[in-house]
A and B are shown apart, each in its own frame.
Chain A
C-alpha cells in the first residue's frame, strides 16, 4: 500500500435519482493531487450534480464521494481542506465582497485579515468594499475564487469557473489553477470549453448522461480515439497519392476541396511516401490531436440536454 493521498478525491458508484432523471448514474472516478483534472460532459450530463454531491450539498441516492478518504460533511473545518467555486455560489446583493468573505472567516474561525489577503490575491482589493450587486460577472467569479482560497485548501473544486470571463480573465484563471496544482494541490474543474481544457488539464474525466465515458491523462484519452494525429495533404495528382498512401495501409479520406485527410501517420511519413512515389506535394499539414474532436466522438449519441 502506498501512502494515503490526503488530497485525493474518490467517487464510488455515485448515483443521484431525481423525480424524472437519473442525473448521475453509478459514477466512479478518482482525482489525483498535483494535477489539474478536467471534468467534461455535455449539458445536463450531471457535472454540477456530481460536484455538489462531493461537497455534501446534495445527498446521493447511492454511492459515496470522499476527499482524502473522508466524506466532506465529516471533515473538521472543511474549508481549510477544500475550496469550492460553484455556478450558483453567490453573495447577498447588499453586502460588500469584503464582508461576505469576513462572514465566512468568522464561521470557520479564520482571522478576518484572510479576507483582505485573498481579495488581494484575486485582484479585487480596490473594490472589496463595493456591494456585490455592483459586481460584473468576471468580478463575481474572482470573488468565488477568493472565497475558495480563504482556508488555503489542498483541494479545489470548480464548476465552470471561466464562465463569463474575458480572454485575459481566462488566461489568469488558467495560470492560477496550474500554479495551484504545481504546488501539489488537487484541482478538479468542470468546463464546456474544450480548447481551454486542452491547455489546462493534465487528466480528464468525461461523462455523459450521468455515466463515466473515459478517464485518464489527456494524452492517453486522445491517443485512444480518432482524435489521434491527422495529416492534410494537397497534390495535383490526388488520386495517385491516395492510392500510394492506401497501399501503405493508411486511412485516406478525400475532402470536397480536393485535399486528402490521412489518419494514422505523421506528416514526415506521408511526405516520405509521396517522395518515394515521385508525387509533387502542394501542401502538407499536421493536425494535432484535438480534445474537442475526441470529446464529440466519445459522447456522440450519448444524450445532449436532458
Chain B
C-alpha cells in the first residue's frame, strides 16, 4: 500500500499526467465527431433496415457512441503505463526505487495498480462525457438515448475492462522494452498502424494461403480488444469473451515475464 501511494505521488509530481490529460480532450472530440457521422449515415437512410449484428447495426453504432474516446484513451493509457516503468530507467531513478524496495516484484505490482487506476480514471472521464454527449447526438436524428438498453451498459462495462487490460499490457511492455523512446514508439506504431497493416496481412493470407487464417486475426491485441467491445464483425468470428481472454493472456504474459526480468536484471 505504501508503494502504491509512492507511485501515485510519482505520477502526480511530474507534468506528464496533465500533458496526457490535455491531449485526451481533443482525441475524444475527434472520436465523437466520427461516431456522430456514423450515427448520421446509419440512421438517416430512409429504409433504415438495420441488421442486428455486424458493422452498421444499431447496436454497434450506439455502442460506439457511448464508448467514444476509447481508441485515443487506450493509446494514452498504454503509453503512460509503459512510461511508469521506462522513466525509472530513463531518469535513473531505478537505483533509488530499488534501494528503497529491493523486492522489485512489489514495485512492478504497485505500478500495475497505478496503471489500473489511470485506466479507470480515463475510462470514467470519457464515459461521463459520453453519457452527456451521446443522448444529444441521438436526439439530432430523433432517436431515444437507448440508456435503458442492456447492450449500452454492457458496452460501457466492457470498455472499462479493455482499458484495464491494456494498462496491464502497457506496464508489461515497458518492462520488456526498457528504453523510453523504444517502448513509446513500438507501442504507438503497433497500436495505431499495426491494426490496419495486420488486418491486411491476415486478409491476404486467408485469401491466398488458408481461409480460416482470417479467424486468427483476433490474436492481434488491438483486434482482440475490438472484438471484446464491439462484438463479432464477421459471421465466423468468435464471441466477445474470446477477445477479452486473448487480451488478458497478453497482459498476463508480459506482466509475468516482465516481473521475472526486472527481478534479475542488474541496475547500473
Contact between A73 and B103, CB atoms less than 8 A apart: yes
Interface string of A91-111 (1 = CB under 8 A from B): 111111001101110111100
Contact between A104 and B96, CB atoms less than 8 A apart: yes
Contact between B96 and A89, CB atoms less than 8 A apart: yes
Interface centre among A72, A75, A84, A108, by most chain B C-beta atoms within 10 angstroms, is: A108
Residues of A within 8 A of B267 (CB): 52, 57-58
Shortest distance in angstroms between A160's beta carbon and chain B's nearest beta carbon? 14
Residues of A within 8 A of B92 (CB): 88-90
Q: State which residues 232-268 of B face A: CB under 8 Å.
A: 264, 266-268
A79 to B95 alpha-carbon distance, docked (Å): 13
Stretch at the interface among B1-9, B164-172, B201-209, B221-229: B1-9
Q: Is B15 an interface residue (CB 8 A)?
A: yes
Give the contacting residue for B2; candidates A59, A78, A100, A107; CB below 8 A.
A107
Q: Is A147 an interface residue (CB 8 A)?
A: yes
Q: Is A267 an interface residue (CB 8 A)?
A: no
Q: Is B101 an interface residue (CB 8 A)?
A: yes
Q: Is A49 an interface residue (CB 8 A)?
A: yes
Residues of A within 8 A of B14 (CB): 92, 94-95
Residues of A within 8 A of B101 (CB): 107
A55 to B16 alpha-carbon distance, docked (Å): 31
Take A89-B96, A147-B96 as given contacts and tell me if A103 and B10 are in contact as well, using a CB distance cutoff of 8 Å: yes
| Chain B interface SS verdict (over half) | helix
Q: Is A184 an interface residue (CB 8 A)?
A: no
Q: Is A86 an interface residue (CB 8 A)?
A: yes
Chain A residue at minimal CB-CB distance from B16: A94
Interface size range of chain A in the complex: 20 to 34
A136 to B58 alpha-carbon distance, docked (Å): 62
Interface string of B17-61 (1 = CB under 8 A from A): 000000000000000000000000000000000000000000000
Contact between A106 and B102, CB atoms less than 8 A apart: no
Shortest distance in angstroms between B104's beta carbon and chain A's nearest beta carbon? 9
Chain A residue at minimal CB-CB distance from B99: A84
Residues of B within 8 A of A57 (CB): 95, 98-99, 266-268
Residues of A within 8 A of B87 (CB): 92
A248 to B97 alpha-carbon distance, docked (Å): 63
Interface string of B73-100 (1 = CB under 8 A from A): 0000000000000010001110111111
Q: Is B150 an interface residue (CB 8 A)?
A: no
Q: Is A68 an interface residue (CB 8 A)?
A: no
A103 to B107 alpha-carbon distance, docked (Å): 13
Q: Is A56 an interface residue (CB 8 A)?
A: yes
Contact between B6 and A73, CB atoms less than 8 A apart: no
Tell me the total A-B contact number using a CB cutoff of 8 A: 84
Q: Is B139 an interface residue (CB 8 A)?
A: no
A96 to B9 alpha-carbon distance, docked (Å): 12
A163 to B124 alpha-carbon distance, docked (Å): 49
Contact between A58 and B97, CB atoms less than 8 A apart: no
A147 to B91 alpha-carbon distance, docked (Å): 16
Give the contacting residue for A90; candidates B3, B91, B100, B266; CB below 8 A.
B91
Take A49-B268, A58-B268, A92-B87 as given contacts and tell me if A106 and B2 are in contact as well, using a CB distance cutoff of 8 Å: yes
Chain B residue at minimal CB-CB distance from A102: B9
Contact between B102 and A107, CB atoms less than 8 A apart: no
Residues of B within 8 A of A92 (CB): 10, 13-14, 87, 91, 93
Contact between B99 and A55, CB atoms less than 8 A apart: yes
Contact between A106 and B96, CB atoms less than 8 A apart: no
Interface centre among A84, A88, A103, A108, by most chain B C-beta atoms within 10 angstroms, is: A103
Contact between A107 and B97, CB atoms less than 8 A apart: yes
Contact between A78 and B102, CB atoms less than 8 A apart: yes
A233 to B267 alpha-carbon distance, docked (Å): 54
A41 to B17 alpha-carbon distance, docked (Å): 44
Interface centre among B93, B97, B267, by most chain A C-beta atoms within 10 angstroms, is: B93
Chain A residue at minimal CB-CB distance from B2: A109
Shortest distance in angstroms between A44's beta carbon and chain B's nearest beta carbon? 14
Residues of A within 8 A of B16 (CB): 94
Contact between B6 and A107, CB atoms less than 8 A apart: yes
A92 to B2 alpha-carbon distance, docked (Å): 20
Give the contacting residue for B5; candidates A72, A75, A89, A106; CB below 8 A.
A106
A220 to B89 alpha-carbon distance, docked (Å): 42
Residues of A at under 8 Å CB distance from B? 48-49, 52, 55-59, 72-73, 75, 78-79, 84, 86, 88-96, 99-100, 102-104, 106-109, 147
Q: With A107-B100, A147-B96 given, can you name 16 additional A-B contacts, CB distance below 8 Å?
A: A52-B266, A55-B99, A56-B98, A57-B266, A73-B102, A78-B100, A78-B102, A90-B96, A92-B14, A92-B87, A95-B10, A99-B13, A102-B9, A102-B13, A106-B9, A108-B100
Closest 10 CB pairs of A and B: A107-B6, A90-B92, A106-B6, A99-B13, A73-B102, A57-B267, A58-B266, A92-B91, A94-B14, A107-B100
